[in-house]
Chains A and B, each alone.
Chain A
Amino acid sequence: MELLIASAIGVLTAAGIYMVLRQRTFSVIIGTSLLSYAVNVFLFASGRLTVNAPPVLRDGVDVYADPLPQALVLTAIVISFGMTAVVVIMALGSYLSAGDDLVDVPDPHADIPQAPQTLRGEAVE
């Protein structure tokens, strides 16, 4: 089981990093989701892997499942879920307003002033 979990974390992380290094926000968001899955499994495994063990300490129990990583991973899942939702909306907004979904900020400095309104962010449609 250790091998299975460890290789799953490894593959998820590798795939996530590959996707994160891509140029378009869609792939990058997929990449961050994969990374957050990897870290969730990793957190879960940080309390050691046990099967069929009671969750809390009790007298006379030697093998138990650590409940704390489960609480941690719940928090991490909720947070990464919320963050992914935020970044999807922002990437969508950026795509709709700029016309492409590249991640890098284009260099608008090639030739001096653009309309100041776009720099200051008002009234851009």
Chain B
Amino acid sequence: MTHWIIAPVVLPAMLAAILVLVARFHISLQRTLSVAGTVVLLGIAAGLFWQASDGTISVYQLGHWQAPFGIVLVADRLSTLMVLVTAVLAPLVLLYAIGSGWDTRGRHFHPLYQFQLMGIMGAFLTGDVFNLFVFFEVLLIASYGLMVHAGGAERLRAGTQYVLYNLLGSTLFLFALGTIYAQTGTLNMADLAERVATLDLADNAGIRVAAVLLLLVFAVKAAILPLHFWLPASYAEAPAPVAALFAIMTKVGAYGIIRIYTLVFPPDLALTQGLFDTWLMPAALLTLALGMIGVLGARRIDKLVAFSVIGSMGMLLSAVAVFTPDGIVAALYYAIHSTFATAALFLLVDVLRDRRGKAGAWLNDAVPVAGGPLVAGMFFVAAIGMTGLPPLSGFVGKLLILDAARDSALVWWVWGTVLIGSLIAVVGFSRAGSQIFWRSHQVALVQADTAECEDEEANIADLSPPQPALPMVAIGSLIALLVALTIFAGPVTRNLSATAAQLFAPEPYISAVLSMPGKVIKSDSYGDDHADDATKQTDEGGH
């Protein structure tokens, strides 16, 4: 049964290989396999989540090597939760990609999508920091391909920028890992936790440097203020389904922060004192402010949504930076909420870009959108979710964040920034919505008056093409998830409280990982050169 833990990594990897080797010229076969794969993945993720929901921590040893020597995958509450969120998002976004035809606008969409899923799942499940780096690279290299899917000058330009920025992030990650290894001699998270706790504050400047470097790496992924520059252009230019899937990628950075800084560098550790109060909290609040101001200032709807992603990451990380169990509960709830809200908004933006003809994503006067009421209604609901107005889950999440921040030293700063930021976001979103959905009717009337039948013809022509239902089903399901997250806020937060409690009591995690016996090398071949070489090679192969 323990082999299920690696299934979320192996399944997309194998499927991607099959897709690219066997089904590369058959789009319908690719679609079928890809959807089937993500549905099975959802089943596996739900199973893992159920398995971890009673507090068991399952460990999977790759190659059956014991923990500090081999790589382990660990399925605890937090990992399985993030895996489940990804697995819920994946089929919906895939449905949109199929329904809107995005997967046919370039080659290899489906294999890259599966590789991306493999990287994300692996990053959530691994219990080894170097392996985390490797899975980051897997998800990044797939995202490079997806980012420039369908090509185009501006997209390639934004893509190059995105790749270069992330290459620098990867280099920084390696520097951090090298420092950690030089200081502690291990890269297994549980083993690290034990060893870091015994380190002496005086002569271990190196491990402090490593802790800060690692935080910077995750800050790049999570787009925290001085390191957010890659996000607006990349998300706005990326194909819509890809941008929607990227909604989970910023959460990978947040996951990294939560995982490493509860397990390896816990908040009461003297070595990393002040990292959160002094640095992360102000950075998160500034990120929040910047994102919301960006929402107000954006002149294109896709840029607007991209900035709202930055704002929501600021919101999420200000809850993380409080670093109490309550803060983590709030952060996780908000992370789930903002993943679905962002994905829904990016998909809606694509629908708008598609149907507004020449006006595209620009917030300017244009003719009404085809299928206006439905699209407008969905945009309205998703915007309510994103900006955190009642009654949707964004509001619940924000309440949790405000409540968690009450004991923080910076409480008034948090409250002020969150509330004013939300207000600005509400203004930004309502301006965009009324420009696109209401002003357009005025424009249509004026146009119909001045120019005669020709323009009117154009107006009607824009409305006429039949709209496929599948994209709307995908967006509708995402919005339904937001509603469900609101209705079941009670059970969800109870589950998240248990998750946070598990994170703040890491001893079971450490003992589960380190005490699990691995394979034994027979003592008669020990000392023999060949046996030694063989073990060494397997170890290397594992990395």
Residues of B contacting A71 in the complex (Cβ-Cβ under 8 angstroms): 539-540, 543
User: Which chain A residues lie closer than 8 Å to B155 at the CB level?
Assistant: 121
Chain A residues closer than 8 Å to B364, beta-carbon distance = 112-113
Instruction: Give the distance in Å from the alpha carbon of A120 to the alpha carbon of B238 in the complex.
Output: 9
Report whether A46 and B182 are in contact in the complex, using a CB–CB cutoff of 8 Å.
yes
Contact at A103–B536, with CB atoms within 8 Å? no
Q: Which of B109-117, B170-178, B434-442, B491-499 contacts A (4 or more CB under 8 A)?
A: B170-178
A93 touches B360 (CB 8 A): no
Nearest CB on B from A81, distance (A)? 12
A to B CB contacts below 8 Å, 9 in the list: A20-B164, A32-B171, A38-B171, A46-B178, A48-B182, A79-B137, A93-B151, A105-B237, A122-B152
B151 touches A43 (CB 8 A): no
Contact with A along B477-517 (1 / 0, CB 8 A): 00000000000000000000000000000000000000000
Task: From B11-19, B197-205, B351-359, B374-382, give the one contacting chain A.
Answer: B351-359
How does the 8 Å CB contact mask read for B118-156 relative to A, with 1 for contact and 0 for none?
000000000000100010010011001000101111111
| B406 interface contact, C-beta 8 A | no
The interface residues of chain B lying within 8 Å CB-to-CB of A118 are 152-154
Q: Would you call A108 and B160 a contact (CB within 8 A)?
A: no
Chain A: interface residue count, which band?
Answer: 35 or more
Q: Assuming A105-B157, A124-B152, is B168 touching A58 (CB within 8 A)?
A: no
Map CB proximity to A onto B74-88 as digits: 1 under 8 Å, 0 otherwise. Answer: 000000000000000
Q: Mark B515-543, 1 if CB is under 8 A from A, else 0.
A: 00000000000010000100010011001
A6 smallest CB distance to B (angstroms): 12
Instruction: Determine the chain B residues whose CB is within 8 A of the CB of A122 once the complex forms.
Output: 105, 150, 152
A38 and B187 CA atoms in complex are apart in Å by: 20
Cβ A113 vs Cβ B358 within 8 A: yes
Main secondary structure of the interface of A (DSSP, over half): helix
Number of interface residues of B (CB under 8 A): 54
Closest-CB distance, B307 to chain A (whole angstroms) = 14
Interchain CA distance A15-B168 in the complex, whole Å: 14
Q: Does B459 contact A (CB under 8 A)?
A: no
Q: Within 8 Å of chain B (Cβ to Cβ): is A10? A: no
Complex CA distance for A93 and B168, rounded to whole angstroms: 20
B interface, CB within 8 angstroms of A: 105, 130, 134, 137, 140-141, 144, 148, 150-161, 163-164, 167-168, 170-171, 174-175, 177-179, 181-182, 187, 233, 237, 239, 299-300, 353-354, 357-362, 364, 527, 532, 536, 539-540, 543
Residue pair A112, B174 in contact (C-beta under 8 Å)? no
Cβ contacts under 8 Å, A120 to chain B: 152, 353-354, 360
Shortest CB distance A20–B (Å): 7
Contacts of B175 in A (CB 8 A): 39, 42
- Taking a contact as CB atoms under 8 Å apart, the answer to whether B178 and A42 are in contact is yes
Known: A90-B156, A120-B360. A109 touches B141 (CB 8 A): no
Contact B152 A97 (CB under 8 A): yes
Contact B360 A105 (CB under 8 A): no
- Given A56-B532, A56-B536, A68 and B181 contact (CB-CB distance below 8 Å): yes
Q: Assuming the A-B contacts A42-B175, A43-B177, A72-B543, are A32 and B152 also in contact, with contact meaning beta carbons closer than 8 angstroms in the complex? A: no
Closest CB-CB distance, B166 to chain A, in whole Å?
8
Residue of B233, B536, B539 touching A105 (CB-CB under 8 A): B233
A124 touches B527 (CB 8 A): no
Residues of A within 8 A of B540 (CB): 67, 70-71, 74
Question: What 1/0 flags go to A52-79 for Cβ under 8 Å of B?
Answer: 0001101100000001111110111001
Determine the chain A residues whose CB is within 8 A of the CB of B357 once the complex forms. 116
**Bound Cα distance A119, B148 (Å):** 13
Who on chain B is nearest to A82 by CB? B141
| 15 further A-B pairs in the complex, CB-CB below 8 A; given A39-B174, A58-B532, A68-B181 | A29-B164, A39-B175, A45-B178, A47-B182, A67-B536, A67-B540, A79-B134, A86-B163, A87-B164, A105-B154, A105-B233, A113-B362, A113-B364, A116-B358, A118-B152
B359: nearest residue on chain A (CB-CB)? Answer: A113
CA–CA, A109 and B361, complex, Å:
11
Contact of B151 among A67, A68, A69, A124 (CB under 8 A): A124
Asked if B148 and A93 make an inter-chain contact with CB atoms under 8 angstroms apart, the answer reads yes
**Given A93-B148, A98-B157, A116-B357, are A75 and B543 also a contact pair (CB < 8 Å)?**
yes
Smallest CB gap from A70: residue in B: B540
Q: Cβ of A94 and Cβ of B156 under 8 Å apart? A: yes
Cβ–Cβ < 8 Å partners of B179 in chain A: 46
| Least CB separation from A114: chain B residue | B360
> In the complex, are the beta carbons of B168 and A35 less than 8 A apart?
yes
B141, B144, B360, B539, most chain A CB atoms within 10 A: B360
**Distance in angstroms between the alpha carbons of A108 and B303 in the assembled complex:** 13
Q: Find out whether the CB atom of B167 lies under 8 angstroms from the CB atom of A83.
A: yes
With a cutoff of 8 Å between Cβ atoms, the chain B residues found around residue A105 in the complex are 154, 157-158, 161, 233, 237
CA distance A91 to B160 in the complex (A): 6
Q: Find chain A residues with CB under 8 A from B158 CB.
A: 105
CB of A2 within 8 A of chain B? Answer: no
Q: A42: which B residues are within 8 A, CB to CB?
A: 174-175, 178
B70 to chain A, nearest CB (A): 12
Residue of A nearest to B364 (CB): A112
Report the minimum CB–CB distance from B26 to chain A (whole Å): 22
